[in-house]
Amino acid sequence: MHRRSWLRPFVSLFLTAIFFLPLYVAVVNVFKSSEEVVRAPLALPLRPTLDNVIGVLTRPDGLFWHGLGNSVLLTGSSIVITTVLAAMTAHYLVRSEALWGRILIMIMLTGLMIPPAVIMVPLTRVLRAIGLMSTLPGAILVNVGYYLPFAVLVFMGFVRSIPKELEEAAALDGASKFTTFWQIVFPLMRPASASVLIFLGVWIWNDFLTPLLILGPGTGNTITVGIYRSIGTYQRDFGSVFALMFLATLPVLTFYLLFQKHFIRGLTGGATKG
Amino acid sequence: MSQNVSNRRRILRAWHDAGNFAIFVVPGVTVFAAVVFAPILWTMWIGLTNERATRPQTLFVGLDNYLTLLGSSTFHAVLVNTVIITLIVVVGTNILGVSIALLLRLETRLYSALRSVFFVPVILSAVVVSVIWRSLLVDDGLLNTTLRSFGIQNPPGWLSDPSIALYSVSGIIVWQMLGFAVVVYLAGLAGIPKEIDEAAEIDGAVGWQRFRYITWPLLAPSFTINTVMLMISAFKVYDQIAVLTNGGPGTGATTTIAFKVVETAFVEQRAGYASAMAGLMLIIIAIASTLVLRALQRREVTY
Domain definitions of chain B by residue range: 2-46, 65-298
pLDDT of A270 > 50? The answer is no
Q: What is the 3-state secondary structure (H, E, C) of B189-227?
A: HHCCCHHHHHHHHHCCCCHHHHHHHHHHHHCHHHHHHHH
Side chain identity at A107, as an amino acid letter? I
- List CB contacts of A120: < 8 A, sequence separation 6 or more: A209, A213, B261, B262, B265, B266
Which residues on A lie below 8 Å from B28 (Cβ)? 85-86, 88-89, 144, 148, 152
What pLDDT is attached to residue B200? 80
From chain A, the residues in CB contact with B125 under 8 A are 205-208, 224, 227, 249
Name the residue facing B225 among A16, A146, A270 (closest C-beta): A270
Q: B95 pLDDT exceeds 50?
A: yes
CATH of the domain at A91: 1.10.3720.10
Between B134 and B302, the more confident residue is B134
* Backbone torsions φ then ψ of A115, nearest 5 degrees: -70, 135
Tell whether pTM > 0.80: yes
Interface list for B 23-42 with A (CB within 8 A): 23-25, 27-29, 31-40, 42
The confidence band for A271, taking pLDDT boundaries of 50, 70 and 90, is very low
Mean pLDDT of chain A: 86
What Rg, from alpha-carbon coordinates, does chain B have? 26
pLDDT digits (tens, 9 = 90+) for B13-30: 777 777 888 888 889 999
Q: Which residues of B touch A25 (CB under 8 A)?
A: 132, 135-136, 142
Would residue A201 count as lying in a domain? Answer: yes
Residue B140 has pLDDT above 90, yes or no: no
Q: Does A199 fall in a domain?
A: yes
**Residue A152 reports pLDDT greater than 70:** yes
Residue A224: inside a domain: yes
What average pLDDT does this structure show over A200-226? 89
- Which residues from B are below 8 Å from A26, CB to CB? 132, 135
CA gap A151, A192 in Å, rounded: 9
**CB-CB under 8 Å, B285 with A267:** no
Quickly count: other Cβ atoms within 10 Å of residue B290's Cβ: 11
- Residue range A248-258: mean pLDDT, rounded: 88
Are the C-beta atoms of residues A142 and A77 closer than 8 Å to each other? no
pLDDT (mean) for B193-218: 83
In angstroms, the CA B116 to CA B110 distance is: 10
**Number of A–B residue contacts, CB under 8 Å:** 235
Q: What is the pLDDT of residue A2?
A: 53
CA distance A144 to A203: 12
A200 lies in some domain:
yes
Q: How close does chain A come to B136, measured CA to CA in Å?
A: 8
The residues, any chain, with a CB within 8 Å of residue B75's CB and separated by 6 or more, are B69, B260, B277
Range of the domain at A75: 62-266
The contacts of residue A11 (CB under 8 Å, 6+ apart) are B103
A123: closest CA among A153, A151, A156, A145?
A: A145
pLDDT of res. A3: 58
A56-70 pLDDT, tens digit per residue, is 898 888 889 999 999
How far does A58 lie from chain B, in Å, by closest CA? 21
CATH number assigned to the domain covering B65-298: 1.10.3720.10
- What domain count does chain A have? 1
Give yes or no for residue B301 having a pLDDT over 70: no
Closest listed residue to residue A159, CA positions, set A83, A92, A85, A259: A92
Partner residue opposite A148 with nearest CB, options B28, B142, B235: B28
pLDDT at A274: 31
Q: Tell me if A4 is assigned to some domain.
A: no
In a domain, A49, yes or no: no
Asked if the interface predicted TM-score (ipTM) of this complex is over 0.85, the answer is yes
Separation of first and last alpha carbons in chain B: 62
Residue-level pLDDT at B303: 54
Which among A77-86, A259-268, B152-161, B202-211 has the top mean pLDDT?
A77-86
Query: Which residues in chain B touch residue A202, judged by CB atoms under 8 angstroms apart?
Result: 123
Does A193 reside within a domain? yes
pLDDT of residue A215: 92
Instruction: Answer yes or no: is pLDDT of B257 > 70.
Output: yes
Q: Rounded mean pLDDT of B65-70?
A: 93
SS3 A64: helix
Q: How far is A60 from chain B, CA to nearest CA, in Å?
A: 22
